[in-house]
Amino acid sequence: MSARAAFEALLSAARDWHASVPALAGFVPWPDDLRYVPRPAHALPLIPLLQADPGTTSPQSQPLCDALRAIAPYAEWRHTYTEAEVGGDFLNRFGWFELAGPDGHFITHQTRMTVGYWGPNLYYDWHQHEPEELYSVVSGQAVFRVRDQTDETLSAGGTRLHASQQPHALETRDHPVLTFVLWRGAGLADPPRLSA
């Protein structure tokens, strides 16, 4: 399968996922300006980990999980953070890529869709960003933290909303987690930053 065909298959699975999870469909409509652009793959150490163990799926999330494992070698994986900020173990077992957005494999200016993977027993420290955000768990499990709210442990199909500039954190324990994340509002092209 060509990279483009793999990305088109992934986009189709993501669209089905968006339509099947009410919180996602209610957060932002599926964009109508998506345009594929070839981007060079960028490999990170998480790829074989994701392919070997994405964590437990649901029947609804299985097709998206399969498409994400298939796309892994073609994706432009990113870290954003430095080893000084998050540590070497974190960088060896974490990565994300922009499926669609201002700087994604598909260009859209209506939302930003990213995919993130964390191996077991990682702590993603408090961070924040201007756009509102809706996490959905595709496979595995993680604890989602928002300041002044109760922690929530989410598995496949679970969602969590983060308001603009609201600090949040994520922790994996015995399982990895694979997430599909939507942003909306101003600042779609800006990276998150660790909270002060």
What's the one-letter identity of residue 195? S
**Joined tokens for residue 56:** 């437990």
Nearer to Zn ion, 6 or 99 (CB): 99
What is the Cα–Cα distance from 145 to 169, expressed in whole angstroms?
5
What is the Cα–Cα distance from 52 to 112, expressed in whole angstroms?
27
- The site for Zn ion (CB under 5 A) is made up of 133
Nearer to Zn ion, 98 or 133 (CB): 133
Residue of this chain nearest to Zn ion (CB atom):
133
Q: What is the DSSP letter of 55?
A: -
Nearer to Zn ion, 74 or 114 (CB): 114
Nearer to Zn ion, 7 or 27 (CB): 27
What is the Cα–Cα distance from 46 to 75, expressed in whole angstroms?
12
Least separation in angstroms between residue 67's CB and Zn ion is 23
Least separation in angstroms between residue 185's CB and Zn ion is 12
Nearer to Zn ion, 140 or 192 (CB): 192
Least separation in angstroms between residue 4's CB and Zn ion is 29
Least separation in angstroms between residue 166's CB and Zn ion is 9
CA angle, 104 then 195 then 82, to 5°:
60
What is the Cα–Cα distance from 144 to 57, expressed in whole angstroms?
18
Least separation in angstroms between residue 129's CB and Zn ion is 6
- What distance lies between CA 188 and its chain's CA centroid? 14
What is the Cα–Cα distance from 59 to 54, expressed in whole angstroms?
14
